[in-house]
Amino acid sequence: MPIPQKRVTESRDEYVGRCISELSSEYPQDQAAAICYNQLKKVQMAEEEPMIDPELMKQCMLDVQGMNPTYTGTLAMKICASRLAVGAKQTAKDDSGIIDPESTQP
């Protein structure tokens, strides 16, 4: 059975309840819950759209087109959006444990 997809109108709890219910005939409840929460996490990560600097986007598109001149317009934009989004998420993750030295000085 395929993993149920979250409906636009469903809350997080509604989706998880429905998902576990649908998968419980194939999997033990704890496994079904793990599958459903993992699917929810994937959906939430896909929905997150980090802010992308327009100058970085412009430079990336020039770089992509320089590597392959057939990568123009929408294709170049999709490639760059993907690259920059991954970079932005990684930067946010890396920065999450950093302590600002100025804020720790007496």
Q: pTM of the prediction?
A: 0.46
The tokens describing 68, both together, are 């392959």
The per-residue pLDDT for 86 is: 66
In tens digits, the chain (106 residues) has pLDDT values of: 789 998 889 888 999 999 999 999 999 999 999 999 999 888 776 666 556 778 888 888 888 888 888 887 888 888 888 777 766 555 545 445 445 445 444 5
The beta-carbon contacts of 73-78 under 8 Å, at least 24 apart in sequence, are: none
pLDDT of residue 1: 73
Q: State how far the Cα of 97 lies from the Cα of 41, in Å rounded to an integer.
A: 21
Q: What pLDDT is stored for residue 40 in this prediction?
A: 87
